[in-house]
Chains A and B, each alone.
Chain A
Amino acid sequence: GDSVTQMEGPVTLSEEAFLTINCTYTATGYPSLFWYVQYPGEGLQLLLKATKADDKGSNKGFEATYRKETTSFHLEKGSVQVSDSAVYFCALGTIQGAQKLVFGQGTRLTINP
């Protein structure tokens, strides 16, 4: 079945460091790919998305490119801030069959000043 594998956390960085959180997927068909962010005690917020191969999603300085050849959707940010501390989830969705998202296990990111 469809699955998403994320880089294990926790990840701890200093402010202004470069961030990469790896995400790879297994899916039949042509999924859409998403990154969600969850701040402590809150629900998930959509951070960015890509719906087809070679698409780049971007928002708030974060970017991710849909790479079909490597089945990856790695999240990157050039200079992280303390306010980026949160849990990040990679997810895929396909319109084949039911309208469900499959989530990775999440990566906890902590940014130190």
Chain B
Amino acid sequence: DGGITQSPKYLFRKEGQNVTLSCEQNLNHDAMYWYRQDPGQGLRLIYYSQIVNDFQKGDIAEGYSVSREKKESFPLTVTSAQKNPTAFYLCASSMYIYNEQFFGPGTRLTVL
């Protein structure tokens, strides 16, 4: 089955530690995205990548980093510089020339 996988579903980390969230897609999509969702709020774009080895900052990139070494993978690192990292993180992908995005199931990160 084609789709987007995110792992793990729940992640706990101590304050001050970096943590990497995984996102993999087998839809052969060119573009991939990371969003942050806080309780009762909409989605805010962290980073996006339209092709391999290229990515751009979204609206709230500070304290996050990404890489896009393979078309199917777009990992997100939440660094210790992110002031309030506890949130639900969603990964998405789309074909390059279309805007419809497909979402993964999300990772809930809790920093203790």
Binding site for B on A (CB under 8 A): 32, 34, 36, 41-46, 49, 89, 93-95, 98-101, 103-106, 108
Contacting residue for A46 out of B6, B45, B102, CB 8 A: B102
A99 lies within 8 A of B100 (CB):
no
Given contacts A98-B48, A98-B56, contact A89 B42 (CB under 8 A): yes
A31: nearest chain-B partner, CB-CB: B99
Interface size on B, residues (CB 8 A): 27
A95 lies within 8 A of B97 (CB):
yes
Query: Does B66 count as interface, using CB distance less than 8 angstroms?
Result: no
* A89 CA / B44 CA spacing, docked (Å): 13
A89 lies within 8 A of B99 (CB):
no
Known: A95-B99, A100-B58. 8 other contacts (CB 8 A): A41-B106, A43-B105, A46-B100, A99-B94, A99-B96, A101-B101, A105-B41, A105-B42
A32 lies within 8 A of B105 (CB):
no
A99: nearest chain-B partner, CB-CB: B31
9 A-B residue pairings within 8 Å (CB atoms): A32-B99, A41-B108, A43-B105, A46-B100, A89-B42, A93-B101, A95-B99, A99-B48, A100-B48
Interface centre among B6, B106, B108 (most CB of A within 10 A): B106
B103 lies within 8 A of A43 (CB):
yes
A50 → chain B, closest Cβ, in Å? Answer: 11
A89 lies within 8 A of B94 (CB):
no
Given contacts A49-B100, A99-B96, A101-B99, contact A43 B43 (CB under 8 A): no
A32 → chain B, closest Cβ, in Å? Answer: 5
Contacts of A34 in B (CB 8 A): 99-100
B25 → chain A, closest Cβ, in Å? Answer: 12
Contacts of A104 in B (CB 8 A): 42
Contacting residue for B103 out of A45, A93, A99, CB 8 A: A45
* A34 CA / B50 CA spacing, docked (Å): 20
